[in-house]
Amino acid sequence: MNSNNRLSILVVDDNPVNVKMLETCLAKEGYRVITALDGPSAREIVLREHPDLILLDIQMPEENGFDVIRSLKSKAATASIPVLFITGVSEIKAKLEGFELGAVDYITKPFETQEVIARVGLHLKLSIATNSLITSQAEKLKQITEAQVSLLTTPDQHPNANFGVHYIALQEAGGDFYEVLPITEEIYGYFIADFSGHDISTSYLTTSVKALLKQNCSPIYHPLESMKMINDVLVEILPAGKYLTANYVLLNRRKNQVTIISAGHPPVCYVPVDGAPELIELKGDVIGIFKDVLFGSKVIKVQKGDRLFLYTDGIIESLGQKIVWTEGAEKILTSCDAVRNVPIRQAPEAIFHHIRKGESPLEDDIVIVGFEI
């Protein structure tokens, strides 16, 4: 709708008499009427004016109505504009073709002005209602996204955790998330997970997992115990078919060691300050399906300057290119090595750009978390 709140209608017909007749009757109803006598002109006007509705003649020379609507529906900017065909053709085949191409209705020549006004009014109401619903849903999803992001821990909240993060949610409700837990002044937990399915319910489940992490990750529990207790709860509350893969890394600076727990997640990348990076590959069950689970576990001695990077599979997998994380893992090693001299807060984003340079569009959520001893 234009700035003065008048609904605009584009009338497209190669017959000037028809155009004038429609323009006159619609203008009397308060609509702003734009006209075109051929298909190419109509397409230019649509892109410039973005009318609220189009009355489109089927039978025009050179470029008929079917060609015009096919072009309009192929572009995101014009695909949602309702199109009513003007036709003198009574054949059902022509009408069906129009509907298949995306027309919402048709008007038969010769015109009955009251019918034209009624059909135009009806489809404008439907279009306005649909657009309002889409706007409302988009706003709700935006609020969910903002709420989900607001729950994520930032490096400024826990500066002593000495970490950086790069987070991209491909959809409104991301399925990947992370948490950084200050357990004591010298002990920190770093958690990363990927939920199966990225529907709206996932955004609420991440809140539950964050609460479970805070309740069960403490000095009195070994990291394996913490993950098993979280699994036991999630088995009871997760919907059928929903689960998550995860890595949990516990850093104990007093002992100069990290404990890595793997729950079916891509391997942690360990970058020693004076050595080549390596992937810590551990087998482990996913979280949330089985009561009796076995998680992979490994303890590594570390020193000041060592780094560890946790990530989700979206950074290295590609369905389109048929690349799974086991094939793409070499990219993680190369990238983590390449950003050694980048400050840890910026390192995850640097890894993202190093891996994604020249790649196809993203296909999944991405989280990269890195911390330095």
Stretch 342-354: mean pLDDT: 94
Percent of the chain with pLDDT over 70: 84
Q: Residue ranges of the domains in the chain?
A: 8-139, 151-372
> Is 80 exceeded by the pLDDT of residue 169?
no
Q: How are strands ordered across the β-sheet holding 307-311?
A: 163-168, 366-372, 307-311, 268-271, 278-280
| Region 8-139: CATH code | 3.40.50.2300
- DSSP assignment of 113-152 equals HHHHHHHHHHHHHHHHHHHHHHHHHHHHHHHHHHHHHHTS
Each residue's pLDDT tens digit, 200-218? 556 567 778 888 898 889 8
Q: Calculate the average pLDDT of the chain.
A: 85
Residue 9: what pLDDT?
Answer: 95
- DSSP assignment of 172-239 equals SS-SEEEEEEE-SSSEEEEEEEEESS-SHHHHHHHHHHHHHHHHH-STTS-HHHHHHHHHHHHHHHSP
CATH 3.10.180.10 given to domain 151-372: no
Residue 48: what pLDDT?
Answer: 93
Distance of alpha carbon 67 from alpha carbon 63, whole angstroms:
6
Residue 323: what pLDDT?
Answer: 47
Helices then strands (H, E): number in the chain? 9, 15
Residue 64, CA atoms < 13 Å, CB-side half-sphere: 10
Between residues 153 and 145, the one the model is more confident about: 153
Each residue's pLDDT tens digit, 305-340? 999 999 998 887 554 444 455 666 788 899 999 999
Residue 229: what pLDDT?
Answer: 92
Residue 23: what pLDDT?
Answer: 94
String of b and e for 29-50 (b: at least 16 CB within 10 Å)? Answer: eebbbbbbebbeebbebbeeee
Residue 207: what pLDDT?
Answer: 77
